[in-house]
């Protein structure tokens, strides 16, 4: 059974994960990552990997699922930023 | 005493928090939030508030501190996006 605290975590995980979808859509549809900081997303994705590991130790389904998906969304953004930087060289 | 799992969480919190600093600097120094999705940051900040509450229930110092600071960094970005949208009207 999922307790009420875990439900807060689950909603938090869903929100901080879904949050990146509009940004990913914006980057893909405009084919531009202008304005986005590469440093931010690289530091962020390393943090997300550590949160994922932390979630495994804390047996937190919310953290494992949320950070797992956020990892892939942040990765898409990073790929676009690097691709755009290369194009602009 | 902080255990080794909590150290992973602490580093994760530090990284996902510090991550937003280059983005905040970019937004402030260029005085532009172009390319940043307002929807992303609004959904994200609500998620961060819930992670903060979840951290209190889980007695996780990393989550409380990390999400507390991330809240303020995300808030700065949101204020800039809205300010920029108004200027562009």
Q: What is the pLDDT of residues B45-80, one digit of tens each?
A: 999 999 999 999 988 888 899 999 999 999 999 999
Q: Has residue B87 got a pLDDT over 80? A: no
Nearest-Cα distance to chain A for B25, in Å, is: 9
> For the segment A38-87, what is each residue's pLDDT rounded down to a tens digit?
999 999 999 999 999 999 998 888 889 999 999 999 999 999 999 988 87
Residue whose entry in the numeric block shows the structure tokens 């690289």: A42
**What ipTM does the predicted assembly reach?**
0.86
Confidence band for B1, pLDDT divided at 50, 70 and 90: low
Tell me which residues of chain B, numbers 16 to 75, contact chain A at a CB-CB cutoff of 8 Å: 16-23, 25-27, 30, 32-37, 39-41, 43-44, 46-48, 50-51, 53-54, 57-58, 60, 62
Which residues in chain B are contacts of A17 at CB distance < 8 A? 47
Query: Mean pLDDT across the stretch A7-34?
Result: 92
Contact B39 A18 (CB under 8 A): no
At residue B2, the pLDDT reads 66
Which residue, chain included where needed, has tokens 């903060």?
Answer: B52
Could you tell me the two tokens for B61? Answer: 């110092």
Per-residue pLDDT at A89 exceeds 60: no
What CATH code would you report for B4-87? Answer: 1.20.1280.290
Residue A11 to residue B2: CA distance in whole angstroms = 27
């Amino acid at each position: 059974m999922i307790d009420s605290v875990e439900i807060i975590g689950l909603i938090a995980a869903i929100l901080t994960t879904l949050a990146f979808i509009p940004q990913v859509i914006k980057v893909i549809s405009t084919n531009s990552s202008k304005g986005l900081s590469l440093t931010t997303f690289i530091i962020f994705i390393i943090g997300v990997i550590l949160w994922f590991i932390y979630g495994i130790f804390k047996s937190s389904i919310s953290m494992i699922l949320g950070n797992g998906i956020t990892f892939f969304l942040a990765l898409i953004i990073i790929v676009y930023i690097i691709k755009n930087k290369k194009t602009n060289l």
